[in-house]
Chain A
């Protein structure tokens, strides 16, 4: 399906959620968008085992799954030695929407965060955002992942505000602002 500047048929998506109904919902939306290369998985461990072979372009994952805890899947992906995996585009879903939890998700290295319940419109909007606005990755002592500063909600936990020091941080840091 080619529509409004994007051919979804070209994309591969892995959906990870421990709830069958949510996976059915997400797969149904993806299929309607024209995405044919899809894999649905019920837990983080299996996702990690299969991600290398499937090579998704986008990973859509629930935040709170058992038995693997909330952010381990994302952190493990970000620590991969393979570029194809460590730079994976990740959309995280969660039924929680409070600011502290959102910050926690942001700080684990996801591209987009989407509060459940998920609508077709909100999911499509996130997909278009990551296609249209690719973000650089930032590597610091405490963080590796997409630049978190597109939407400013305060400095990352445990870090000072680099925005105020942009002029002293050199070209690389200035480029992310």
Chain B
């Protein structure tokens, strides 16, 4: 069977106007440093933002078991917030927030349905994020970061 016909189109390159010479475009270390500094300047703001996200996670966790009709929505809220935290944490220098969010979403994805029985594990992940923010642990957290991640992994394994 012959593959589907393909047409190749070369559209005008809208970025051509930004090139300033015939030479190759490369990452300028000075420009990169400026961009990285801009991100670092946001880290203090993020520490406040992430606290609100953690509060939102905890609020959804409290809401879930007390309102069976709202359970699905609460679980969905927890997953969405955890997923957002994966994307943000490392971007703002809090890589452990990303790691813990990743563990939490994978724990939830591994279940056909999240039940009340799973809430203790979810709560442990939220507590771990809270500890990262409280202690202002940036980067991967070194030895403490490894202990947190390993501890959560063991908890999930024990629960499963």
Residue of B nearest to A20 (CB): B49
For the complex, count residues of B whose C-beta is within 8 A of A.
Answer: 52
Residues of A within 8 A of B17 (CB): 10
Given the interface contacts A6-B20, A137-B9, does A1 sit within 8 Å of B31 by beta carbon?
Answer: yes
Given the interface contacts A121-B36, A172-B6, A173-B6, does A137 sit within 8 Å of B11 by beta carbon?
Answer: yes
Question: In the docked arrangement, what's the CA distance between A32 and B42, Å?
Answer: 12
B62-85 residues at the A interface, CB under 8 angstroms: 83-84
- CB of A139 within 8 Å of the partner chain: yes
Question: In the docked arrangement, what's the CA distance between A118 and B89, Å?
Answer: 9
Residues of B within 8 A of A173 (CB): 6, 8
Q: Are B14 and A89 in contact (CB under 8 A)?
A: yes
Q: Are B1 and A4 in contact (CB under 8 A)?
A: no
For the complex, count residues of A whose C-beta is within 8 A of B.
Answer: 64
CB distance from B94 to the nearest CB of A (A): 9
Given the interface contacts A29-B39, A116-B87, A136-B9, does A57 sit within 8 Å of B31 by beta carbon?
Answer: no
A121-177 residues at the B interface, CB under 8 angstroms: 121, 123-125, 128, 130-132, 134, 136-142, 147, 159-162, 165, 168-169, 172-173, 175-176
Grouping DSSP codes into helix (H, G, I), strand (E, B) and loop, the A interface class, with mixed when no group exceeds half, is mixed
Question: In the docked arrangement, what's the CA distance between A165 and B90, Å?
Answer: 43
Residue of B nearest to A163 (CB): B3
Question: In the docked arrangement, what's the CA distance between A176 and B23, Å?
Answer: 24
B-binding residues in A (CB < 8 A): 1-8, 10-11, 19, 21-22, 24-25, 28-29, 31-34, 57-58, 62, 64, 83, 87, 89, 93-95, 116-121, 123-125, 128, 130-132, 134, 136-142, 147, 159-162, 165, 168-169, 172-173, 175-176
Closest 8 CB pairs of A and B: A117-B90, A116-B87, A120-B35, A32-B38, A117-B91, A3-B28, A4-B28, A87-B11
A-binding residues in B (CB < 8 A): 1-21, 23-28, 30-32, 34-39, 41-42, 45-46, 49, 83-84, 86-92, 95, 98
